[in-house]
Every structure is written in C-alpha cells, then in structure tokens.
Amino acid sequence: MTGRLDGKVAFITGAASGIGAATALRFAQEGAVIAGFDLNDKVEPDWDEAAGIAPASTFASGDVRDEDRVREVIAQAVATHGGLDIVMNSAGVAGGGMVHMLEQDAWDHVMDINAKGTYLVNRHAIPALIERGGGSVVNVASVEGIEGFMGGSVYNASKGAVILLTKNMAIDYARSGIRVNVVCPGFIETPLFHAVFGIEGAQAFQEQIREAHQLGRFGKPMEIANAALFLASDEASFVTGVTLPVDGGYTAGHRFGG
C-alpha cells in the first residue's frame, strides 16, 4: 500500500515540537521525505520517529526571521532532496496584551515570527515549487486570526495577516499549479499551550476556554497534522485559498448552559 505523500519532499517549520513535529511524523508515515526547520535544535521524539520512518529526512536549526538563514536552509533542502513539493509553516509564538499596554518590541517580536516568518519562508520556497511544476503550501494561523480574543491584540493580528496572505497567495500561484491553504487550530495541547496556560492561577481560565470548544476538550497536535495532511495531499487537488478551522467547534458559536 502506498502512502498519500509518496515521493514528496516537505519543508516544515517549527518542526522540533508541537504541531510541526506531529506533522513531520504524519507526513513521513505517508511516505514524504521531511526537511525540518526550527529555532530549537533539540527535537521531540516525534521528529526522531519521523526521521526513522523516512531515513533521508533532514533537520536544520535557525530563525524564520533570518532571511539569509531561511534562504540557505531551503537551498540546502532542495539540493539534498532534489526539490520541494510541500511547505508547512507552523513556526509561531504567543503574545498579546491590551494595545495601550503593549510595548513596540513585544509587537514586533510576535509579528516578525508569525507573519514575517511565514512570508520569508514562502518567499524562498515558492520558486522551488514552481520549478517542480506545482505543489502545496499549508500555512498555520489560529482561530484567533478568525475572531477576537480578549487581550489577543498582536497575536490575533499576526494570525489574521497569515489568513489574508494565504488567500492572496492562492490567487497569485494557482496558475503555477500551487495550492495554498491555511489551517486554523483551536487551542491545542502543545508546549506553547502549556507555557501560556500552565502558570499558577490560570486553571479557571483554562477551564473556560476548554468549555468554549463544543467538543468539550482541547485538541491534539496530531489532529492538526491530519488536517494538514489532507491539504498537502492530492486528495485536496481542488482545494485552494481555504481557511480551515480545526477547533472542536470553537468558532461554531456559543453554548449557554446545558
């Protein structure tokens, strides 16, 4: 039985942990060779397992804000693996606060990683997809890029930017055979999630957010990876420019009692 990504090369940012690591594993299970990229050079077991499934897979460390490093790593991936077919932009950071209390450096930090980082990776990966004759880009935003969240400010703005960037890229590259879609996770149990909500006194707030998901729980990284797999695969050959919430019903509406 062949995998859904047999013969494909996937470049994945944020590949050392969370959604990125889960996606690397899921794509490798379906036959893809992975070129992982992350600021952290210490990877989770998921990535190690992915590399074991697809032994030709490679991992490089670096910052998505560093254009020279992004250019270098993508060029290395193309040279090593013979090209690129899939790009998954899952690198990201949290941040926020009311605008009048948010320092410019904090704003720039989140926007530079979440929005500019997505732009820079796509800027240097798209030519490789064009050279390949087409491919798939899966950007990762958030339900907070679709609707507001108290105190979200810069995080929401950065993820909203990724959603609109995705739509424009879908238009710009469709005739080059490149599909571009964006996954919008709900609240997913990742290291980033636990860093934000694991602080003392956050338990009650965490429970409120859990209840806002109509399925009554938080998501798992592999559930986002499964959605990304569909968008990256030929099964989604007529899907482009789509904003796909994978959120347990978080954006479906509100529950009042019961």
Q: What's the CA dihedral at 191, 36, 88, 34 to 10 degrees?
A: -120
What is the separation of C-alpha 162 from the centre of its chain, rounded to a whole number of angstroms? 10
Question: Would you put residue 129 in left (φ > 0), alpha (ψ -120 to 50) or beta?
Answer: alpha
pLDDT beneath 70, residues of the chain: 1, 201, 258
Domain ranges of the chain: 9-187+221-237
Q: What are 8-55's pLDDT values in tens digits?
A: 999 999 999 999 999 999 999 999 999 999 998 877 778 888 888 999
Q: Across 25-140, where does the E strand assignment appear?
A: 33-38, 58-61, 86-89, 135-140
The pLDDT assigned to 1 comes to 53
The pLDDT assigned to 258 comes to 62
User: Cα separation of 204 and 198, whole Å?
Assistant: 11
- The pTM of this model reads 0.95
Q: Which residue has tokens 């490089």?
A: 60
Reduced to 3 states (helix: H, G, I; strand: E, B; else coil), residue 83 is: coil
The pLDDT assigned to 51 comes to 86
Rg (CA), the chain: 18
Active site residue 119: no
Distances (CA, A) of 80 to 15, 77, 135, 177: 18, 5, 18, 23
The pLDDT assigned to 101 comes to 93
The pLDDT assigned to 182 comes to 98
Percent of residues, the chain, with pLDDT higher than 70: 98
The pLDDT assigned to 72 comes to 98
Q: Across the chain, where does the E strand assignment appear?
A: 9-13, 33-38, 58-61, 86-89, 135-140, 178-185, 243-246
Task: Please give the CATH number for the structural domain made up of 9-187+221-237.
Answer: 3.40.50.720
- Residue 95 belongs to what H/E stretch? none
